[in-house]
Amino acid sequence: MKNRSGEKIKLASIDELLGVVNEESAMEIEISKIHPFKNHPFKVLDDEKMQDLVESVRINGVLTPVLLRMDDNEEYEMVSGHRRMHAAQLAGLTTIPAIVRELSDDDAVIAMVDANIQREELLPSEKAFAYKMKMDAMRRTAGRPTKENPRQNVGNYETADLIGKDNGEKRI
C-alpha cells in the first residue's frame, strides 16, 4: 500500500497487532555451522535430481526452510533438509533458511524420519533402517516395556503398527 507521497507503508499482520510471537519463523543460518544428523539413514546422491535441485536453488533460492536443532557446541544439527543443504552448497550459497526447534534426540529422530519417508526413491534398506530408528525412538518416548508387557504398546496399537499405519505399510 502506498501513502500520498508514494512511499510504501508496511501494514502490520494480525499476529503482530495481537502480540503473537511466531517462534517457528525461519532465519538465515551459516551452512558451515550445520552438521548432518547422526546416523542419518538416507543417502544424498549427486544424481540428475540433485542437479535439478541445484539449478532451482540457483534461480529461486531455497524455498522451504530446513529444520535444525542446536547442539552442545552452539552449532546446529540438521534434522530435515539434507538434500536442500547439499544443493545450496553446490549452488555456492553460504547461508540457508532454517527453522531451529528444541527437540529431544527421540523427537528429532521421529521428525527426521517423518520428513523423509515419503520420498519415492528410497531404497528398501533405507526405509527399513528409518522405520527401526523411529520405532526405537517412539518406544523410548512412550516408556520402557515391562516384563509383563515386553512389546511396547501405545493405546491399542504396538509401536510398529502405528508406524505402518501412519505410512501405509503393513506388517508381514
Per DSSP, what are the bridge partners of residue 77?
A: 35, 69
Structural domains of the chain in order of their starting residue, each with its CATH number? 22-103 (3.90.1530.10), 122-172 (no CATH)
pLDDT for residue 15 is more than 60: no
Strands 153-154 and 95-100: unpaired
* Over residues 121-136, mean pLDDT: 76
Distances (CA, A) of 34 to 2, 23, 30, 94, 123: 41, 20, 7, 11, 26
98, 80 contact by CB (below 8 A) = no
pTM: 0.64
Residue from 71, 122, 15, 121 nearest 29 by CA: 71
Task: Tell me the CA distances in angstroms from 117 to 19, 21, 40, 169, one per residue in order.
Answer: 36, 31, 12, 11
Query: What are the grid coordinates assigned to 69, written together?
Result: 536443532
Residue type, 154: V
Compute how many other C-beta atoms are within 10 angstroms of the C-beta atom of residue 62. Answer: 22
Residue 101's nearest CA partner among 72, 73, 71, 69 is 69
114-105-140 Cα angle (round to 5) = 85
Tens of pLDDT, residues 55-106: 999 999 999 999 999 998 889 999 999 999 999 999 999 999 999 999 999 9
- Pick from 53-57, 63-67, 113-117, 152-156: least confident: 152-156
Q: Quick one: pLDDT at residue 162?
A: 56
